[in-house]
Amino acid sequence: MQIYNMLLGVDTGGTFTDFVYIDKAGVRIHKVLSTPHAPEEAILQGIEELGVDGEQLLIVHGSTVATNAVLEKKGVRCCFVTNHGLADMLTIGRQARKELYNLNPKPQQPPVPVELCLETGGRVAATGEVIEPLTDEQVEQLIAQIKQLAPSAVAINLLFSFLNDEAEKRLEQAMPEGLFVSRSSKVLPEYKEYERGMATWLNAYVGPLVTGYLKRLTASVKASSVSVMQSSGGTIAAELAGEQAVRMLLSGPAGGLMAALHMGKLAGFERLLTLDMGGTSTDVALLDGAIALTNEGKVEGYPVAVPMVDMHTIGAGGGSIAHVDAGGLLCVGPESAGASPGPACYGRGGQKVTVTDANLYLGRISSKHFLGGEMTLDLAATIQAIKALADELGCEPPQAAKGVIKLANEHMARALRVISIQRGIDPRPYALMTFGGAGSLHVCALADALGMTTAIVPIHSGVLSAFGMLTAPRSRELSRSLLGNLSELSLDDIEQAFDAMVEQGQEELQAEGVCADDIDIRYLVDLRYVGQSYTLPIIWNDAESAIQEFHKLHKSRYGHDLDLPVELVNLRVTLSGEMPKPSLAKQKNRLAGDALPLEMDKGLRLYQRQHLKPNDMINGEALIVEQVATTYLAPHWRCEVDDYGNLVLTKD
């Protein structure tokens, strides 16, 4: 394993870009406003302000470039190539309606415009046998169409290419030079042509943006290694990340979960409900000793069948804008003020009330200590915005501000219920861990809403996702479909398929500097009963034990098992190579006679987190401020500091 003396984790958010820098001297944290038009500018600004670079610097960062391009529908011009008769594949999808009983749904724009959906030959049967060969004439005709349309990227998705990829490879090689080409047999070699096609198109749709951004970043920084967080919680070298852009759609949130898992174990809690509240959105997840992955995730309604952390995201953040609807009711979000102009209190031209403004108005944010006192807040602008909202609602300004907070809390509590109660999981035995720049302002109210009595605000909570980048291993998640009755399939075929994926993953990880002896390998199979559409992931040792575990998991998940044959659908391999992880030393206890410094701010007791020591106890109502976040300790809640500086909150 290569040794790095300096580690820098970077999380690029919609409002702020967060930094965690670790070297022999300890941990330094930093924040700068994001630059959405060119994310690398904020990163370079932060690196310059921190004064860090060098040959022994490892940079790991989470990027929102791919995510924002999909959410804002600002990807590149991309052609979608498939077999004859299937040009409408992505438009038709699964024929599922978002609103089942709405007889007049709003028409949806197709993912790919009709004129960019192209058809060609190279048809393969479900057995892998070629039905319609791909001719030279068809290839020439397709290339002529693509040259005329002049796209920046091409997505190739032929039927059953995961069984026979010769036609896809031939088309890829024939494409004009300079085009970003994404083929399904490389991006996601699994069955289900719609999900495979969507992943392939998304990869092509955002790939050139990610590739260009990462090239500009790596060319501008002085570092021995630059890696990017993937949606699955592992990292990949920046120079390879653009080819797998679809695997970066939950890049930043995955870093937060890696850090939450790490911090939870330090604090003695492995069963966690996590809430990552930033300026634009809030992500919630459930951790039970490990991070759960899903192959059924969605982004902006699009299915994303590559492995990603299992979480639920809503448009509620510190920058969420409050407004009054046509019926005179108060609404909060999903529109966000973002980094520019930002909340009214940022003094950058914003005039609408945000959740941050409401917290400031109610005294839950100290303008004196915001961002360690480095950023001046415009309280007068907040007061004016709150008054305008109150006038529109016909109430007093304090009521309007409290209403904004209460409504934002309800949005987030509902999201936490989706990830727990709606899945049959009682959240009360869990601890609620909040992080992100705004999460700890709402931690007590959210725990109360779910009947939880324990919450954790980890150290460096305001930049925890950036810290999590440094706890993640280098990893690869590889898969391929192999369908058949598991009891009847050849074990040699299964082992050969596993071996091929392992060889590919090991080569890629070793090329990134991971020693072969340091690579951990996990084997999984997706199983289902014959006749079912959905699968369950099972750890693979052998066929008999996999079948038994599938019956048990199916009964646990759905309340019953069936006397039916078990069918194998997909083989999966996860390879991970540990990278140098940041270590947090235990903090020293308070010396006898050393009193905890106390300030008062608008009638509230205020403590600076940097002055807290292990075993310090604080009773609510109080504020605990730090450079990148504020914790609002509500009445009837008590806070105790653990050995690592985490705030463990309990209901009094």
Q: Tens digits of per-residue pLDDT, 429-453?
A: 999 999 887 889 999 999 999 999 9
The answer, yes or no, to whether residue 234 has pLDDT greater than 80, is yes
Q: Which two tokens stand for residue 412?
A: 């987030």
The answer, yes or no, to whether residue 460 has pLDDT greater than 70, is yes
Q: Is 442 inside any structural domain?
A: no
The answer, yes or no, to whether residue 415 has pLDDT greater than 60, is yes
Q: Is 110 inside any structural domain?
A: yes
In this predicted structure, what is the pLDDT of residue 370? 79
In this predicted structure, what is the pLDDT of residue 547? 95
271 CA to centre of own chain? 20
Q: Where are the alpha helices (DSSP H) in 348-482?
A: 355-361, 379-393, 397-419, 443-449, 464-469
Of 149, 178, 210, which residue sits at a domain end? 210
CA distance 211 to 384: 44
Q: Where are the alpha helices (DSSP H) in 512-636?
A: 543-558
Virtual torsion, Cα 503, 504, 505, 508, nearest 10 deg = 120
In this predicted structure, what is the pLDDT of residue 152? 95
In this predicted structure, what is the pLDDT of residue 652? 79
Q: Tens digits of per-residue pLDDT, 558-601?
A: 889 999 999 999 999 999 987 666 777 788 888 877 778 878 87
In this predicted structure, what is the pLDDT of residue 339? 65
The answer, yes or no, to whether residue 278 has pLDDT greater than 90, is no
Q: What is the CATH number of the domain that holds 234?
A: 3.30.420.40
Rg (CA), the chain: 26
Question: What is the average pLDDT across 369-374?
Answer: 74
Domain co-membership, 533 together with 546: yes
Q: Most confidently modeled of 69-73, 344-348, 551-555?
A: 551-555
- For residues 345 and 319, the answer to whether their CB atoms sit within 8 Å is no
In this predicted structure, what is the pLDDT of residue 98? 77
Q: Could you tell me whether strands 16-23 and 6-12 are parallel, antiparallel, or unpaired per DSSP bridges? A: antiparallel
CA distance 442 to 410: 11
CA distance 285 to 305: 18
Closest CA to 159 of 187, 191, 205: 191
For the chain, the helix, strand and coil percentages under 3-state DSSP, each to the nearest 5? 35, 30, 35
In this predicted structure, what is the pLDDT of residue 206? 92
Please provide residue 642's backbone torsions phi and psi, each rounded to the nearest 5 degrees.
-90, -175
Structural domain boundaries enclosing 245: 6-69+211-251
Q: Is 386 inside any structural domain?
A: no
Domain co-membership, 229 together with 140: no
Residues contacting residue 328 through CB under 8 Å, at least 6 positions apart? 393
In the chain, how many domains are there? 3
The answer, yes or no, to whether residue 200 has pLDDT greater than 90, is yes
Q: Which one is predicted more confidently, 90 or 58? A: 90
Residues contacting residue 321 through CB under 8 Å, at least 6 positions apart? 332, 333, 335, 336, 337, 352, 353, 354
Q: Which two tokens stand for residue 334?
A: 């999903």
Domain co-membership, 107 together with 81: yes
Q: Tens digits of per-residue pLDDT, 312-342?
A: 887 778 888 888 888 888 988 788 787 678 8
In this predicted structure, what is the pLDDT of residue 247? 92
CA distance 622 to 238: 43
Of 149, 183, 210, which residue sits at a domain end? 210
Distances, alpha carbon 362 to alpha carbons 100, 341, 383, in Å? 42, 22, 10
Domain co-membership, 162 together with 146: yes
Q: Is 258 inside any structural domain?
A: no
In this predicted structure, what is the pLDDT of residue 502? 95
Closest CA to 466 of 251, 304, 612, 630: 251
Domain co-membership, 36 together with 94: no
Q: Residue 344 carries which DSSP code?
A: G
Residue 281 pLDDT class (50, 70, 90 cuts)? confident
Q: Is 629 inside any structural domain?
A: no
The answer, yes or no, to whether residue 350 has pLDDT greater than 90, is no
Q: What is the CATH number of the domain that holds 182?
A: 3.40.50
Lowest-confidence region among 73-87, 197-211, 257-271, 366-380: 366-380
Domain co-membership, 161 together with 234: no
Question: What is the average pLDDT across 478-500?
Answer: 93
On the CB side of 526, how many CA atoms lie within 13 Å of its CA? 21
The answer, yes or no, to whether residue 72 has pLDDT greater than 80, is no
Of 522, 545, 577, which residue sits at a domain end? 577
Domain co-membership, 85 together with 46: no
Domain co-membership, 19 together with 112: no
Domain co-membership, 30 together with 60: yes
Question: What is the average pLDDT across 155-164?
Answer: 95
Kindly provide the residue ranges of all beta strands, DSSP E only, lying in 84-156, ordered along the sequence.
Answer: 117-120, 123-124, 130-132, 153-156
Q: What is the CATH number of the domain that holds 494?
A: 3.30.1490
The answer, yes or no, to whether residue 4 has pLDDT greater than 70, is no
Domain co-membership, 127 together with 164: yes
Q: Residue 270 carries which DSSP code?
A: -
Q: Is 23 inside any structural domain?
A: yes
Question: What is the average pLDDT across 349-369?
Answer: 88
Encode burial over 238-277: b for 16+ CB neighbours within 10 A, e otherwise: beebbbbbbbbbbbbbbbbbbbbbbbbebbebeebbbbbb
Q: Is 405 inside any structural domain?
A: no
- For residues 556 and 597, the answer to whether their CB atoms sit within 8 Å is no
Closest CA to 365 of 340, 390, 343: 343
Q: What is the mean pLDDT of the chain?
A: 89
Closest CA to 134 of 152, 112, 150, 156: 156
Domain co-membership, 64 together with 76: no
Domain co-membership, 165 together with 38: no
The answer, yes or no, to whether residue 27 has pLDDT greater than 90, is no
Question: What is the average pLDDT across 53-61?
Answer: 78
Q: Is 521 inside any structural domain?
A: yes
